[in-house]
Amino acid sequence: MGRKFFVGGNWKCNGTTEDVKKIVSTLNAGELPSTDIVEVVVSPPFVFLSQVKSELRPEIQVAAQNCWVKKGGAFTGEVSAEMLANLGVPWVILGHSERRALLNETNEFVGDKVAYALSQGLKVIACVGETLEQREAGTTMEVVAAQTKAIADKISSWDNVVLAYEPVWAIGTGKVASPAQAQEVHAGLRKWFEEKISAEVAAKTRIIYGGSVSGSNCRELAGQTDVDGFLVGGASLKPEFIDIIKAAEVKKCA
């Protein structure tokens, strides 16, 4: 059995209740591949999670964009994994480059977050990726391997983790890693899993690509052997997100 294609939509800090209704309406009306071909998860801001979860068609799941590193308590402004589990939110995005860069989340902190979220029954979309400076210095694999290792050091199973490779230089910039560049890093990460964890984890773990994915480039990216899906930013707020989900059919035909 191959790895099921996975498409996540990260809405980031965008939207009003009216915007959310329009996006949900578009998704509900869209013609999507069946759930045995693709797993779809959308990640609205915290304040809209319950609204989206209740109004969205059941085969599309929801994810939070972050959660706290341990049990809730005196942590003003944070949301705990327990709260998400209580709301019936199955997924959470952790380690996104925007949080690593703007909020100084370290590799170790992200590893702790992933471990705690998993311990509370959540599934995790864990993000890794290099900056433009790191790519130009030729250290891409060292960077993403270190980020992945920090997670691997804290968890005992990868069954409920999807790894998202998001080159920082391609997020929201309109620049996209070429299919060959994406495949090279995905293959490198899979090799890392095989060497450092196990052949089984390497074969089963889904590694998805994020970074200016659009309706026009998604099918070529999806055709790469080790690209198991996408984490989509801006395009997930637009009708073309349906086209990106349909790119899963490329794998079915392969």
Does 186 qualify as catalytic in the annotation? Answer: no
Catalytic pick from 39, 82, 96, 130?
96
Give the Cα separation of 81 and 156 in Å (integer): 18
Contact 166, 128 (CB under 8 A): yes
Catalytic pick from 98, 105, 166, 186?
166
Longest Cα–Cα distance in the chain = 51
Which residue shows structure tokens 């005992």? 156
> Which positions are annotated as active-site residues?
96, 166
